[in-house]
Structure 1
Amino acid sequence: MLHLRLIAPVEKTDEVVRLIEETVGTTHLIVVRGAARNPAGDVVMCDVARESGEELIGGLKGLGLEETGSIAIENIDLSLSRRADKAEEEAPGDGADAVLWEQLADETHEESTLSVTYVAFITLATMIAACGVVLDNAILIVGAMAVGPEFGPLAGISTALVQRTPRQALRSLTALLVGFAAAMLVTVGFTYFMDALDLFSKVQLEAVRPNTNFIYHPDPFSFVVAVLAGIAGTLSLTSAKSGALVGVAISVTTVPAAANAAVAFSYDEYRQAWGSSEQLLLNLLGIVLASTLTLLAQKWLWSRQHRRAARTERVQPQGG
C-alpha cells in the first residue's frame, strides 16, 4: 500500500476527493479543511493499493496539484486494516508488478546526479578493484562491485529513454561518463603511488592471474550476464526490492574493468587496457539495453492488464 498526503487549494479539494473515491483500490480517506499553510489549502490523505497508484497520481497531476499544491507519497510497510485488504483485492493486477513511474524517475534522478558523493564512491570502488586486479584477489573485486554506484545512472538512462525525457538521459550519461573518467584518472595516480611504495608492480599485472584475468578477456558471456543483470536490477527497482541490487552489483564487471584499464594504462600494458575497456563498454551496453527493454515490457504488460480490467468492469454490470 501507498500513503498519499496531498495539499489541495480550497477550490480543488472536492475534485481531488471525488477522484480518490472513484479510483479503485483507495481507502482511509481523510480531509482536513484549512490545515495547510504553505501552500495554503486543505490537507487530503488516503491510502491506495500500489497497483492503482500510477492511475491516481496521474489523475492528481491532471488536476495540476503538483503545481498549485503538493503530492507526497510514502510506502506503507505494514497496514493492519480490513479496508486496506479489501482495497488491494479490488485493485487490478498485483502490487509487485506495478511500476510507479514518478517514483522510479525520482529515484533514478537522485542516484544519477553527478555529485561529490557519487564520484567518491565510484572512485573508491575503482581503487579497491585496482588492488584486487594487481593482487589477483577475487574478494576485493567483489567488494569493489558492491561499492560501485554505477547502476543508478544506467537505470536513469533507461528510464529517460522509456519516458522520453532527454534532459534526464543527458544528466545520467554525464554522471556515468564523468564518474568513470574521474575514477580511472585517480586510479592511475593511485597506481603510481602504490608502485613507488613497491606495493604494485608491472610483474604482478602481467602474471597469469587466474582469478581476475576474465576482466580483460571479454566474451559472449560478458554480454549475456550484463543483460541478465540489467533485467534483475530493473525489476528490483520497479518492485521496490532494492536488496536485490546488491546481487546485481556483484554480477557485472564494470568497476573492475575500469580499474584494470587504469592500472594497465599506467604500466603501458595497452593490450590489457583495451581488453578491459571492451569489457566495460560491453557490460554498460548490455545493462542499458536490458533495462530499457524490461521497462518497455513492463509498461506494455501493465497497460494491457489495466485495459483488460476496464473491459471486465464494463461487462459485469450488464451481466448483473
Structure 2
Amino acid sequence: MLHLRLISPAEKTDDVIRLIEGTIGTAHLCVLPGAARSPAGDVVLCDVAREAGDDLLSGLQRLGLETAGSIAVDDVGLLLSKRAEKAEKEAPGEPADAVLWEHLTDATHEESTLSVTYLMFITLATMIAACGVVLDNSILIVGAMAVGPEFGPLAGVSTAVVQRRPRLALRSVTALLVGFAVAMAVTVGFSLFMDAVGLFTEAKLEGDRPQTGFVYAPDWFSFVVAVLAGAAGTLSLTSAKSGALVGVAISVTTIPAAANAAVALSYGDTVQTWGSTEQLLLNLLGITLAGVLTLAAQKRFWAGQHKRLRRPTAP
C-alpha cells in the first residue's frame, strides 16, 4: 500500500475527496480541515493500493494539487487493516507489477544527475576495471561493474523517451557522455602512471586473456545480453521488488569496455581501443533499446487497467 499526504486549498478539497472516493483501491480517507499552514489549506490523508497509485496521482495532478498544494507519497511497510486488504483485492493487477511513473521519473532524474559523486564512482569503477583487464582478473571486472553508476542515466534516457521528457533525456545523455569521457581520460593517465611504476605492461594487455578478452571482441551475444539486462534492470526499477539491479549491473560490459579502451589507448593499440569502443556502444544501445521497449509495454498494459479503477457513479 501507499500512503498519501495531501495539502489541498479549501476550494479544491471537495474535488480531491470525490476523486479519492471514486478510485478503486483506496482506503482510510481522513480530512483535516484547515490543518495546513504553509501552504494554507486542508490536509487529506489516505491509503491506496500500489496498482491504483499512478492513476490517483495523475488525477490529483490534473486538479492542480502539485501547484496549489502538495502531494507526498510513502510506501507503507506494514499495514494491518481488513479495509486495506479489501482495497488491494479490488484494485486490478498485482502490486509488484504496478508502475508509479512520477516516482520513476523522479528517481531517474536523480540518478542521471552529473554530479561530482557520479563522476567519482564512474571513474573509480573504470580504474578498477583497468586493473582487471591488465591482470585478466574476472573478480576485479565484476567489482567494477557493481560500482559503476551508468545504469541510472541509461534508465533516464529510456524513461525520457517513453514519457516524452526532453529535459530528462538531455540530462541523462550529458551524464553518460561526460561521465565516460572523464572516466576514460583519467584512466588513460592512470594507466600511464601504472606503466611508469612497472605495474602495468603492454605485454600483459596484449597477452592471452581468457577471462577478459571478451571486452574488446563484441559479437551478437554481447547485444543479446545487453538487451536482456536492460529489460531486467528496467523491471527492477519499476517494480516494488527491486533487488535484481545489482545482478543487472554485473551482467553488462560497459565499464570494462571503457576501461580496456582507455588502457589500450595509452599504449597506442588502436585495434583493442576500437573493439572496446564498439563493445561499449553496443551495450549502451542494447540496454537503452530494451529499457524503452519494456517501459512502453508496461505503459500500454497499465493504460488498459486504468478504466477499471473508477468506481461506478450512482444513478
Task: Return the alpha-carbon distance in structure 1 between the equivalents of residues 191 and 243 of structure 2.
Answer: 33
Per-residue CA distance 1:169-190 (angstroms, 9 max, x = gap) = 0110000110000000110111
Q: Shift of residue 241 of structure 1?
A: 2.5
Structure 2 residue aligned with 1:13:
13
Structure 1 residue aligned with 2:168:
168
Structure 2 residue aligned with 1:109:
109
Structure 2 residue aligned with 1:54:
54
Is residue 232 of structure 2 the alignment partner of residue 237 of structure 1? Answer: no
Task: Return the alpha-carbon distance in structure 1 between the equivalents of residues 146 and 240 of structure 2.
Answer: 19
| Unaligned stretches of 5+ residues in structure 1 | none
Task: Return the alpha-carbon distance in structure 1 between the equivalents of residues 88 and 221 of structure 2.
Answer: 41
Matched residue SS, 1:73: strand
Q: Is the 8 A contact 2:31 2:42 kept in 1?
A: yes
Residue pairs, 1:107-256, within 5 angstroms = 107-256=107-256
User: Is the alpha carbon distance of 1:122 and 1:310 closer, same or farther for their aligned partners in structure 2, counting shifts above 3 Å?
Assistant: closer
Task: Return the alpha-carbon distance in structure 1 between the equivalents of residues 205 and 78 of structure 2.
Answer: 52
**Which amino acid in 1 is paired with 2:131?**
C
Matched residue SS, 1:99: coil
Matched residue SS, 2:240: coil
Task: Return the alpha-carbon distance in structure 2 between the equivalents of residues 86 and 120 of structure 1.
Answer: 48
**Which amino acid in 1 is paired with 2:233?**
G
Is residue 271 of structure 2 the alignment partner of residue 271 of structure 1? Answer: yes
**Which amino acid in 1 is paired with 2:3?**
H
Task: Return the alpha-carbon distance in structure 1 between the equivalents of residues 189 and 36 of structure 2.
Answer: 54
**Which amino acid in 2 is paired with 1:81?**
S
Per-residue CA distance 1:136-193 (angstroms, 9 max, x = gap) = 0000000000000000000000000001111110110000110000000110111111
Matched residue SS, 1:162: helix
Structure 2 residue aligned with 1:286:
286
**Which amino acid in 2 is paired with 1:291?**
G
| Unaligned stretches of 5+ residues in structure 2 | none
Per-residue CA distance 1:190-221 (angstroms, 9 max, x = gap) = 11111111111111100111100000000100
Matched residue SS, 1:199: coil
Structure 1 residue aligned with 2:92:
92
Task: Return the alpha-carbon distance in structure 1 between the equivalents of residues 156 and 106 of structure 2.
Answer: 9
Task: Return the alpha-carbon distance in structure 2 between the equivalents of residues 279 and 83 of structure 1.
Answer: 53
User: Is the alpha carbon distance of 1:67 and 1:150 closer, same or farther for their aligned partners in structure 2, counting shifts above 3 Å?
Assistant: same
Task: Return the alpha-carbon distance in structure 1 between the equivalents of residues 58 and 267 of structure 2.
Answer: 55
TM-score with structure 2 length normalisation? 0.97
Task: Return the alpha-carbon distance in structure 2 between the equivalents of residues 206 and 77 of structure 1.
Answer: 53
Matched residue SS, 1:32: strand
Task: Return the alpha-carbon distance in structure 1 between the equivalents of residues 33 and 162 of structure 2.
Answer: 39
Which range is displaced more, 71-80 or 61-70? 71-80
Count of aligned positions:
314
Over the aligned positions, Cα root-mean-square deviation in angstroms equals 1.5
**Which amino acid in 1 is paired with 2:63?**
L
Task: Return the alpha-carbon distance in structure 2 between the equivalents of residues 251 and 65 of structure 1.
Answer: 42
**Which amino acid in 2 is paired with 1:90?**
E
TM-score with structure 1 length normalisation? 0.95
Q: Shift of residue 310 of structure 1?
A: 6.6
Q: Shift of residue 36 of structure 1?
A: 1.4
Q: Is the 8 A contact 2:127 2:259 kept in 1?
A: yes
Task: Return the alpha-carbon distance in structure 1 between the equivalents of residues 260 and 96 of structure 2.
Answer: 38
Task: Return the alpha-carbon distance in structure 1 between the equivalents of residues 4 and 286 of structure 2.
Answer: 36
Q: Shift of residue 131 of structure 1?
A: 0.5
